[in-house]
Chains A and B, each alone.
Chain A
């Protein structure tokens, strides 16, 4: 059973940088895509971006200028940093595994595809 656990400060001041780490257990970080998704209190889900275990990334354009996602395969972790935060960045942040392959009669294809494993989420509040 793959488990994901977010860690990091629950309170960040406006204009500062939000940093979170996701630790993956029960499976290797290799050969998969890994995403961050956030959910403001009482609202819907927003995909932030993903990283492949090799280090390639894809970011939501709405956050791209402030966002960095990195991976440390030796620690089975991936991380998020979001700079210049405002109250609008207050949300529960989830780290998530992207199902990264599907196989049919013709062979297998590499994703990313849908989100199959989620962390429990961590609430980050931006406030002075």
Chain B
């Protein structure tokens, strides 16, 4: 199984400031035949199902604000929120869909400082 490890486990950021969440996979999720990273980011607010924010490591889902961005390749990835808004308080998960069993990171809880 591919192990996904996120850092930090929790993060407190002031409104309007940048938030950065890291995700590392135990093996590369870059598929050489199409040069795509099989990595997605999800946001989960309390009492709600997760919602996809980013897929292919850096493609923003339709309707997701452009303050959310994804970067990285191979085994190291980053989710960045450029200017934190109050509605961004949530738990964020990375997930690999390179191989089954699909696996998620343990989650990063983002709060307002």
Main secondary structure of the interface of B (DSSP, over half): loop
A114 to B101, Cβ gap below 8 A? no
B73 near A: Cβ within 8 Å? no
The total number of A-B Cβ pairs within 8 Å is 52
Main secondary structure of the interface of A (DSSP, over half): loop
B34 near A: Cβ within 8 Å? yes
Contact of B102 among A47, A116, A119 (CB under 8 A): A47
B55 to A113, Cβ gap below 8 A? yes
Give chain A interface residues in 18-73, CB to chain B under 8 Å.
35, 44-47, 58, 60-62
B97 near A: Cβ within 8 Å? yes
Give every chain B residue within 8 A of A120 (Cβ-Cβ).
48-49
Chain A residue at minimum C-beta to C-beta distance from B38: A113
B49 to A114, Cβ gap below 8 A? no
Give every chain A residue within 8 A of B95 (Cβ-Cβ).
45, 114-115
With A109-B34, A112-B97, A114-B95 already in contact, the answer to whether A47 and B103 are too (CB < 8 A) is yes
B104 to A115, Cβ gap below 8 A? no
Give chain A interface residues in 96-127, CB to chain B under 8 Å.
99, 102, 104, 109, 111-116, 118-121
Chain B residue at minimum C-beta to C-beta distance from A116: B52
Give every chain B residue within 8 A of A44 (Cβ-Cβ).
93, 104-107
Chain A residues in the interface with B (C-beta under 8 A): 35, 44-47, 58, 60-62, 94, 99, 102, 104, 109, 111-116, 118-121
Chain B residues in the interface with A (C-beta under 8 A): 34, 38, 40, 42, 48-52, 55-56, 61, 93, 95, 97, 100-107
Sample 26 A-B pairs with CB under 8 A, ordered by A number. Answer: A35-B102, A44-B104, A44-B105, A45-B93, A45-B104, A45-B107, A47-B101, A47-B102, A47-B103, A47-B104, A60-B101, A62-B101, A94-B49, A99-B55, A112-B97, A113-B38, A113-B55, A115-B40, A115-B42, A115-B50, A115-B52, A118-B50, A118-B51, A119-B49, A120-B49, A121-B49
